[in-house]
């Protein structure tokens, strides 16, 4: 669940985004057809948000007060030949700054998408960002990424994996080295 202005946006295993206000469902939008949406992310005071699904697809959206959710760009993190995406490629966590998008999956991989023109995303959300190949920032030996988050004050990326042998891994990356 994320909040943009006075609206709550939730996601479902049916592939839909749901917009709520004061406990009332205002809109239902098919965002990831026939796929489960596993995670959402937005920044404070932003109208841009991101969704990630079990098929390895991450979509950047723009939300307007008129309840229009516009797709800005789509990233595919899985390039295999199988029709069904293996569970290890399911998106677990997403975080984003004006400069980049970071994605964590069940395989324990952290992938980084630097935006080529971050000013365009901020000033005009209708301009799609050009994509670069997904470099894998780090791998945690197939232990799923539980969450990742940017700390804007310290310019660091924090990552927590799921428990493996009783405890998870907590890692910190300097954003300037990404």
Q: What is the mean pLDDT of residues 150-171?
A: 75
Q: Residues 112-147: pLDDT tens digits?
A: 777 654 444 554 454 444 444 345 666 676 677 888
CA angle 170, 98, 161 (to 5 degrees): 15
The full set of domain ranges for the chain reads 2-177
Residue 35: other Cβ atoms inside 10 A: 18
In the DSSP assignment, the letter for residue 31 is S
Strand partners, 28: 18
Q: Are strands 16-21 and 24-30 parallel, antiparallel or unpaired?
A: antiparallel
Which CATH class name applies to 2-177? mainly beta
pLDDT > 60? residue 167: yes
Query: What is the phi-psi region of residue 15: left when phi exceeds 0, alpha when psi lies from -120 to 50, beta otherwise?
Result: left
Other residues' Cβ atoms within 10 Å of the Cβ of residue 156: 14
Q: What is the pLDDT of residue 130?
A: 42
What SS3 state is found at 5? coil
């Amino acid at each position: 669940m994320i909040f943009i202005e006075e609206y709550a946006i939730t996601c479902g295993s049916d592939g839909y985004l749901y917009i709520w206000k004061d406990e009332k469902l205002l809109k239902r939008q098919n965002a990831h057809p026939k796929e489960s949406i596993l995670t959402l992310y937005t920044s404070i005071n932003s109208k841009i948000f991101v969704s990630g699904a079990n098929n390895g697809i991450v979509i950047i959206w723009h939300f307007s007060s008129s309840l229009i959710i516009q797709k800005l760009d789509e990233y595919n993190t899985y390039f295999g030949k199988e029709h069904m995406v293996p569970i290890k490629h399911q998106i677990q966590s997403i975080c984003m700054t004006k400069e980049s998008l970071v994605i964590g999956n069940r395989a324990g991989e952290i992938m980084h998408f630097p935006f080529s023109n971050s000013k365009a995303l901020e000033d005009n959300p209708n301009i799609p960002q050009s994509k670069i190949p997904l470099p894998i920032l780090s791998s945690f030996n197939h232990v799923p990424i539980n969450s990742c988050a940017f700390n804007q004050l310290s310019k660091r990326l924090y990552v927590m994996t799921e428990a493996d042998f009783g405890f998870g891994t907590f890692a910190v990356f300097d954003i300037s080295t990404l």
